[in-house]
Amino acid sequence: MPTQQRSKATVEAILAAAAQVFRRHGYAATTTDRIAQRAGVSVGSLYQYFPNKDAILVTLAERHIDAGFALVRLLLREALAETPPLAAMLRRFVLAMIVLHEHEPELHRVLFEEAPLPSHVRRRLRERENELASEVSRLLEAHPEACVRSPDVTAYVIVHTVDSLVHSFVLHPPKDIDADMMTNEAVRMLLRHLTAEGS
Amino acid sequence: MPTQQRSKATVEAILAAAAQVFRRHGYAATTTDRIAQRAGVSVGSLYQYFPNKDAILVTLAERHIDAGFALVRLLLREALAETPPLAAMLRRFVLAMIVLHEHEPELHRVLFEEAPLPSHVRRRLRERENELASEVSRLLEAHPEACVRSPDVTAYVIVHTVDSLVHSFVLHPPKDIDADMMTNEAVRMLLRHLTAEGS
DNA sequence: GACGAATGCGAGGAATGCCTCATATTTGGA
DNA sequence: TCCAAATATGAGGCATTCCTCGCATTCGTC
């Protein structure tokens, strides 16, 4: 619907403002009027481009999801081409996930922990995770060091372990444990699991 | 405030109804009127015992948290007394977490993924997790088979790995992977990590 | 510069849901 | 039995927020 340059700018302004307001005030306290005000446009304009408040949330979430997974997938593709040592690969994967979560963590928290994302968005998120798991699975089958019985299950466990570990760690950082320690520990654990004899 | 038997029953009825309504309709679509109706009491009675809608949510969440962690802690105490083989212990731990999450999963999802739990409740949840991690840490130090460099970090990783893995698995079960496969995989991974030489 | 299409405006209608309060009923003890 | 305290009731006030709609402004084009 937005064809002129001006209207695209409006849409972007609305999304940027929405990101700020959601981040600062949480889901419930975010009103369309506030978003419009912060964006420097009127509510009318907002409703020209988004049918309702949740549509803005959904757009933000989908962008976040897609950008994030695109990044990680890119990284995996590189890994598949280069075939670096398994340890290095795992470390890169964990670090990528950390970068992903450290980008706008508070917005991330509101989007994925607090807001009532409609089920199709949650489904999309899970689909992306599963795609990622598939790629990891292929990577495991191809890698000479890796030695796994059922790559699918192993890949699922790896992806979800890293994802949720990093998620917890970045969004609710425990004192006494820094990112390096956590990364090392996780990498060591995964490495041992992937290279153990007899599986 | 509730002193007579009758009022205690009212409070319980409200909580039970709230659990049902939150589970069925999600956080946003849950109204105090609906809760009262379902509980078979009037809104006025509801507001006699809870200052607002979120207070009901908080009570439910705290009960859920406390009951859950009490169960797992009990299990850990047993383990500490008996000192069973590490593999058996890990398996029991994972299974306990699954049981925990399989009890009212949809309510669990609404409470912890969708509802805007006030920060003190989230903090309490993290505190409980950390307490759990401490106990696991002590358990690791005491267990003859376990061989870990920094029990605190390892315990943190174990607790969060299992918790979030099970959380994802139970709340969003992937097809192609059943609970047994997941459990086995997780237990194997943790076991290798804990018993590997040189750490 | 003039005209139609695209975009922007913002006061206010409409709906919703939280919560109060004046009143009614029940309970337990004296 | 009777009374004061405890408990229960539910219509409706109040505040909030979502969203519409009629009109103003700007843009691109001829």
**Are both A25 and A73 inside the same structural domain?**
no
Q: What would the 3-class secondary structure string for A53-120 be?
A: HHHHHHHHHHHHHHHHHHHHHHHHHHHHHHCCCHHHHHHHHHHHHHHHHHCCHHHHHHHHHHCCCCHH
**Chain A residues within 8 A of B185 when measuring between CB atoms:** 150, 153-154, 157
Tens digits of per-residue pLDDT, A60-96?
999 999 999 999 999 888 888 888 999 999 999 999 9
Tell me the average pLDDT of chain A. Answer: 92
**Chain A residues within 8 A of B168 when measuring between CB atoms:** 160, 164
Counting residues of chain A whose pLDDT is more than 70, the rounded percentage is 98
Average pLDDT of A133-148?
A: 93
CA A44 / C1′ D18 distance in Å: 12
Distance of CA A29 to the CA centre of its chain: 24
At residue A198, the pLDDT reads: 60
**A29 CA: nearest nucleotide by C1':** D17
- CATH number, residue A85: 1.10.357.10
Please state the domain count of chain B.
2
**Are both A45 and A117 inside the same structural domain?**
no
CA B195 / C1′ C1 distance in Å: 85
**Are both A156 and A190 inside the same structural domain?**
yes
Contact A185 B157 (CB under 8 A): yes
Closest Cβ–Cβ partner in B169, B181, B192 for A193:
B192
Strand C bases with any atom < 7 A from protein Cβ: 6-12, 16-22, 26-28
Contact A181 B153 (CB under 8 A): yes
d(C-alpha B174, C-alpha B157), whole Å: 23
At residue A199, the pLDDT reads: 53
Closest Cβ–Cβ partner in B116, B165, B186 for A114:
B116
Q: How far is A176 from chain B (nearest CA, A)?
A: 9
**Are both A20 and A66 inside the same structural domain?**
no
**Are both B45 and B62 inside the same structural domain?**
no
A 10 A CB-CB count for A187 gives 21
**Are both A2 and A40 inside the same structural domain?**
yes
Tens digits of per-residue pLDDT, A41-53?
999 999 999 999 9
* A192, pLDDT greater than 90: yes
For B108, the domain range is 58-195
Q: Residues by CB within 7 Å of nucleic chain D, which ones?
A: A 4-6, 29-33, 43-44, 47, 51-53; B 1-4, 6-7, 9-10, 33, 40-45, 47-48
Q: Residue type for B45, please?
A: S
Q: What is the DSSP string of B84-130?
A: --HHHHHHHHHHHHHHHHHSSHHHHHIIIIIS---HHHHHHHHHHHH
At residue B42, the pLDDT reads: 97
**Are both B42 and B125 inside the same structural domain?**
no
Q: DSSP alpha helices (H): ranges in B116-178?
A: 119-142, 151-171
Q: Give me the total of CB pairs closer than 8 Å, taking one residue from chain A and one from chain B.
A: 95
**Chain B residues within 8 A of A27 when measuring between CB atoms:** 116
Per-residue pLDDT of chain B (199 residues; tens, 9 = 90+): 777 889 999 999 999 999 999 999 999 999 999 999 999 999 999 999 999 999 999 999 999 999 999 999 998 888 888 889 999 999 999 999 998 899 899 999 899 888 988 889 999 998 999 999 999 999 999 999 999 989 999 999 999 999 989 988 998 888 889 999 999 999 999 999 999 876 5
**Are both A71 and A41 inside the same structural domain?**
no
Burial code (b: 16+ CB inside 10 Å, e: under 16) for B161-188 equals bbbbbbbbbbbeebeebeeeebbebbbb
* Alpha-carbon torsion (B142, B147, B153, B154), positive or negative: negative
At residue B198, the pLDDT reads: 61
d(C-alpha B190, C-alpha A197), whole Å: 15
**Are both B99 and B158 inside the same structural domain?**
yes
* Residue A3, phi then psi, degrees to nearest 5: -110, -40
Highest mean pLDDT among A113-122, A175-184, B15-24, B129-138: B15-24
d(C-alpha B108, C-alpha B59), whole Å: 13
- CATH number, residue A1: 1.10.10.60
